[in-house]
A and B are shown apart, each in its own frame.
Chain A
Amino acid sequence: MRDRTFAPGRALVYLVVSLVAAAWLVPLIVVVLNSLRSNEEIAQTSMIGWPQHWAFGNYLAAWSDFCVAQTCAGIRPYMLNSALVTIPATIFSTLLGAVAGYAVSLWRFRGDSWIYGIVTLGIFLPQQMRLLPWTIVLRDTGLMNTLTGLVVIHTIQGLSFTTLFCRNYYVAVPQELIRAARIDGAGFFRIFWRIILPLSPPILVVTVIWQFTHIWNEFLYGVTFTTGQQQPVTAALIALSAAVADIPQHGVQSAAVLIAALPTLLVYLLGGKYFVRGLTAGAVK
């Protein structure tokens, strides 16, 4: 590359790719700038503009002041709800998926390929096919409108992805390693603990990032199975838009939207490589 002289073709490549990248950043830049403009300023001009007066107060208002459905505590309680759903559900679905993936990849048992086949179908089955049964299950178990209910849903549904990710990774572990360990008297758990887990950090990072992003961003179950103070942040954002429809507060709303997006954006910035690996692993099944 270094020895290449200037070529008009390459300049064009750079120009086009920078323009597209700039266009891709527009929505983010617009929200960031709006989150720093006062509601009045936005109302007088448009959503697209440079802040005349920096309105850092928007973030405080968004975090702890503005009102959704008669409760004026900002976005904070809903962020907490999302965290209380996402973190346990990510941990449980990843751990269970690791064990299940280990079982179907390295242990032969009756019906293993059948049950694994069914589990992976969960990747394709639309959420709408499970909405009604979940409604009834949650109601009958008293978990309707609870964060625990959402944790249960995301743990069980996440298993399709986590099992697939881990199984595809563990398939590459040499069978001889397992056989030798068994001859030495190691059982299912000891092999998992001593041999498999130490090999697992790369796939566990991929799985955790994938699950965290998906559960945090999930909306349909959140809006269907929780109301009011129990809602995760995605559902609360929609409620907020509806609540302020008459007197829009675009500065505060922009700050709220950014705060809600921040956890997954941070995860993406820190673990982008693993995020992309999850995307492509989920794709090339």
Chain B
Amino acid sequence: MTNAVVTNTGRPGPPEMVRRLPEVLAIWVPLLLSAAHLVSFSLWTIWVSFTPSTLIPVAGWVGLRNYTAVLASRNWQIAFDNLLLFGSAFVLLSLVTGLFLAILLDQRIRGENVLRSIFLYPLAVSFVVTGTVWSWLLNPGLGIEKLVHDLGWTSFKFDWLIDRDMAIWTIVVAAIWQSSGFAMALFLAGLRSVDSDLIKAAQIDGAGPVRMYRRVILPTLWPITVTVIVIQLQFAISTFDLVRALTNGGPGIATQLPALVVYDLMFQRNLLGRGAAAAVLMLLILLAVLLPYAAWRYLQRRRAAHA
């Protein structure tokens, strides 16, 4: 009788449910796996950050004690200062380099494809590989400084890798080399999509190439610039492999970054609570970048919808 009722109302009854089960599973299993792990893992880490966990996670509540401990540690303070310096220098310089390369490639030159491949190939290689290679090149007893000495200029000095104050710049150099191609690819796509009528109109007005770029073309690249900045910042905030391979945080802890602090606290000092707090702090730094960006994107879309 229940069956009949169900059939009459046209609702899917048990047989229908069974028939649709594979489809429901196919729709939900991958999505739920992904979403459930993201939500539960985030909440889990946030929870651990408020517990007195050390070697293993334990229940209990210590309030913000893990956070204050992390924030007060020299390790984190150096990591945070490094992140500010590395983040701003790397983002700014890779932006300038990427834009510069994109403008050069936009001059309808021969061999554009080959050149583009050269600027982008570092992105296909692991940071462990590139970090290792840069550590050789920048090692004063082994790389560029040694080469210049062997060539006869013995007073030449290029020892950033072992200089506490300059070591962070080796990370900046390697990161720029590795990721400027990404900025270039996005800018080049932007340059190629500039309205050709706009360019023609400016040409008729007698604008030279420099004025053309400054007044007509570059202003249209604003949205891409913001996207590039946000993605490069996101990369800077979570940088781990590159530092691990290039300086391993050294000399001393001079090139420490937040991601290394998290790893160190969690797996080398077995302070899970503090490690989790440092991870949440990383997330907060990231949100400080991403939330304004999301709001900006939202406003832009709404304006586009109204226009």
Nearest Cβ in chain A — how far from B110, in angstroms?
Answer: 8
What separation, in Å, do the CA atoms of A235 and B127 have in the docked complex? Answer: 11
**Contact in complex: A119, B129 (CB < 8 Å):** no
The residue of chain B having its C-beta at the shortest distance from the C-beta of A20 within the complex is B101
**A175 is an interface residue with CB less than 8 A from chain B:** no
Give the residue of A46, A96, A241 whose beta carbon is less than 8 angstroms from that of B132.
A241
Which residues, 124 to 147 on A, are CB-close (under 8 Å) to B?
Answer: 124-134, 136
The residue of chain B having its C-beta at the shortest distance from the C-beta of A121 within the complex is B38
Give the residue of B30, B38, B136, B231 whose beta carbon is less than 8 angstroms from that of A118.
B38
**A264 is an interface residue with CB less than 8 A from chain B:** yes
**Contact in complex: B57, A48 (CB < 8 Å):** no
Give the residue of A24, A46, A132, A275 whose beta carbon is less than 8 angstroms from that of B272.
A132
Of the listed stretches A51-59, A60-68, A199-207, A216-224, chain B binds A216-224
Which residues, 9 to 26 on A, are CB-close (under 8 Å) to B?
Answer: 9-10, 13-14, 16-17, 20-21, 24-26
Which residues, 217 to 265 on B, are CB-close (under 8 Å) to A?
Answer: 227-228, 231, 234, 237-238, 240-241, 244-245, 259, 262-263
| A133 CB contacts on chain B under 8 angstroms | 37, 40-41, 44-45
Give the residue of B27, B127, B147 whose beta carbon is less than 8 angstroms from that of A219.
B127
**A1 is an interface residue with CB less than 8 A from chain B:** yes
What separation, in Å, do the CA atoms of A19 and B186 have in the docked complex? Answer: 22
Give the residue of B35, B115, B142, B227 whose beta carbon is less than 8 angstroms from that of A284.
B227
The residue of chain A having its C-beta at the shortest distance from the C-beta of B272 within the complex is A132
Q: How many residues of A contact B (CB 8 A)?
A: 86
**Contact in complex: A119, B126 (CB < 8 Å):** no
Task: Report if A126-B189 is in contact (Cβ < 8 Å); known contacts: A132-B45, A159-B33.
Answer: no
What separation, in Å, do the CA atoms of A136 and B104 have in the docked complex? Answer: 50
**B286 is an interface residue with CB less than 8 A from chain A:** yes
**Contact in complex: A28, B128 (CB < 8 Å):** no
What separation, in Å, do the CA atoms of A52 and B267 have in the docked complex? Answer: 45
**Contact in complex: A189, B128 (CB < 8 Å):** no
Q: How many residues of B contact A (CB 8 A)?
A: 86
Task: Report if A261-B22 is in contact (Cβ < 8 Å); known contacts: A96-B30, A118-B39.
Answer: no
Nearest Cβ in chain B — how far from A285, in angstroms?
Answer: 9
What separation, in Å, do the CA atoms of A160 and B126 have in the docked complex? Answer: 21
| B162 CB contacts on chain A under 8 angstroms | none
Task: Report if A13-B126 is in contact (Cβ < 8 Å); known contacts: A133-B41, A283-B227.
Answer: no
What separation, in Å, do the CA atoms of A34 and B120 have in the docked complex? Answer: 23
**Contact in complex: B126, A234 (CB < 8 Å):** yes
| A159 CB contacts on chain B under 8 angstroms | 30-31, 33-34
Task: Report if A30-B127 is in contact (Cβ < 8 Å); known contacts: A104-B31, A163-B30, A283-B186.
Answer: no
What separation, in Å, do the CA atoms of A250 and B26 have in the docked complex? Answer: 50
Give the residue of B35, B142, B177 whose beta carbon is less than 8 angstroms from that of A47.
B142
Nearest Cβ in chain A — how far from B179, in angstroms?
Answer: 10
Nearest Cβ in chain A — how far from B249, in angstroms?
Answer: 13
**A36 is an interface residue with CB less than 8 A from chain B:** no
- A interface footprint on B111-148 (CB within 8 Å = 1, 0 otherwise): 00001111111111111111011101101001110110
What separation, in Å, do the CA atoms of A220 and B282 have in the docked complex? Answer: 16
**A84 is an interface residue with CB less than 8 A from chain B:** no
The residue of chain A having its C-beta at the shortest distance from the C-beta of B22 within the complex is A189
**Contact in complex: B107, A219 (CB < 8 Å):** no
Of the listed stretches B70-78, B86-94, B198-206, B273-281, chain A binds B273-281
The residue of chain B having its C-beta at the shortest distance from the C-beta of A136 within the complex is B57
**Contact in complex: A99, B105 (CB < 8 Å):** no
List of 6 A-B pairs having minimum Cβ-Cβ separation, nearest first:
A217-B126, A268-B124, A46-B146, A96-B30, A159-B34, A188-B23
Partner-B contacts on A (CB < 8 A): 1, 9-10, 13-14, 16-17, 20-21, 24-28, 30-31, 34, 45-49, 96-97, 99-100, 103-104, 107, 109, 115-116, 118-119, 121-122, 124-134, 136, 156-157, 159-160, 163, 187-189, 213, 216-220, 223-224, 234-235, 237-238, 241, 250, 253, 257, 260-261, 264-265, 267-269, 272, 275-276, 279-280, 283-284
